[in-house]
Amino acid sequence: MISQYQESLLLPARTFQSGSMDTTYEDVLEHVDSGILLFDEEGVLTFVNKQMYGMLELNRHSLLGCTMAHLLSHIQLGRFKKKQVLRSYREMVQKGKQSYEFVDEYGRYWRVSLCCGEQMKGSYLFTVKEISDYKLIEQTAYQNDSLAMLGKLSASIAHEIRNPLTAIRGFIQLLHPHLHQLGKEEYGRIILAEIDRANDIIHEFLTSSKPSVPQVSMIPVSALLKEVVLLTESEALMKGCQINLHPLHGDMIISGDVKQMKQVVLNMIRNAMEAITERDDDQIGKIEVGARREGAEVRIFISDNGKGMDILTLDRLFNPFFTTKENGTGLGLSVSDRIIKNHGGCISVSSRLNEGTRFVISLPLIQ
């Protein structure tokens, strides 16, 4: 049931005569750092400040005199903005909440507040403020607290995982003759290599204060990417994703520790698969993997059409223990970043919320 004031917000547009508000106050409101919209007791927009019409990407004159209904059908109002105006209206005017927070298409956080009722004599005052910085501080405080605890916990879990891995390794070796008979010894080789890699990761994590010495060899980029794609293809299929390995032109060779390099690419492909499964819609998941030469460097890219990231996530991506996943450790990218830096390279990332993410690893080529 909506009140007569609520209904008034949805009335059609009518002509507005400006000059009803004291110009001094108007000047002050014009320069505050929040967006302001004021609807009078008849639901007509009588004041909008610069911040607000800037946020809506509309000009002031096309807004003054509008009601909420008119604003929602404004032909110049962008689709995403329209959705947020409607949501704010529903949450605050219809459901009676005093504030409502949302993330915009660029991943920025906003808070809308509403002041109405008797104290406003029937007028509706909406204020909109960007709160990305507060959110960042809030998350940092939470993160610092949980960081110390998580560190201890993960170290003890990592230690315990080594025992079952040793048992699995032993039994796979015992199965080797049977796999040979079936012509599947390749599977045994992959399992052993993966167990060794898991053990190395745990070892590296447990001794992360002392950087491990890389086992340097020449690594052909095409072989590296093929192997990692082969490793992840079946998992990807089960998760409804397609991995497309782009054809690589010419032989590009890097120098480094092959296990560490595999770990980095694998971390990124796993993240891509997880980002795809976390997307709400039914879009087919696509992961593109490839590499190209750029002067004396190779740029290895891993891109996905998963859920993408907001700026808060992008800011903290490489921090140890930063994760947005229920079962994530938040170590994948921090370890990857350190490995790539140890190899004289760097990782860059670009992402858009609900569209996808692209990681690019730049490394020096030796030929």
Ligand X SMILES: Nc1ncnc2c1ncn2[C@@H]1O[C@H](COP(=O)(O)OP(=O)(O)OP(=O)(O)O)[C@@H](O)[C@H]1O
Contact positions vs ligand X (CB under 6 A):
267, 271-272, 275, 304, 306-309, 313, 317, 322-325, 328-334, 357
Q: Residue 97 is which amino acid?
A: K
Alpha helix (H) ranges present in 219-364? 221-238, 258-277, 311-316, 332-342
Strands 253-257 and 241-245: unpaired
Give the length of the chain. Answer: 367
Is residue 332 near Mg ion by the rule CB under 5 A?
Answer: yes
**CB of 224 or CB of 275, closer to ligand X:** 275
**CB of 71 or CB of 264, closer to ligand X:** 264
Q: How far is the CB of 175 from ligand X (least distance, A)?
A: 28
Distance separating alpha carbons of residues 243 and 249, to the nearest angstrom: 19
**CB of 188 or CB of 332, closer to Mg ion:** 332
**Could you tell which of Mg ion, ligand X, none binds residue 341, using a CB distance below 5 to 8 A set by kind?**
none
> Could you tell me which of 48, 32, 36, 38 has the C-alpha nearest to residue 9?
38
Q: How far is the CB of 253 from Mg ion (least distance, A)?
A: 27
Tokens read off for 123 = 């007028």
**CB of 260 or CB of 271, closer to Mg ion:** 271
**Could you tell which of Mg ion, ligand X, none binds residue 343, using a CB distance below 5 to 8 A set by kind?**
none
Helix axes 332-342, 185-206, angle to 10 degrees: 90
Contact 364, 296 (CB under 8 A): yes
**CB of 52 or CB of 317, closer to Mg ion:** 317
Distance separating alpha carbons of residues 56 and 73, to the nearest angstrom: 13
Distance separating alpha carbons of residues 220 and 184, to the nearest angstrom: 26
**Which position's Cβ is nearest Mg ion?**
332
**Among residues 123, 232, 260, 271, which is the contact residue for Mg ion, using CB under 5 A?**
271
Is residue 357 near Mg ion by the rule CB under 5 A?
Answer: no
* Interface region with Mg ion, contact rule CB under 5 A, candidates 215-223, 236-244, 269-277, 288-296: 269-277
Q: What are the residues binding Mg ion (CB under 5 A)?
A: 271, 332
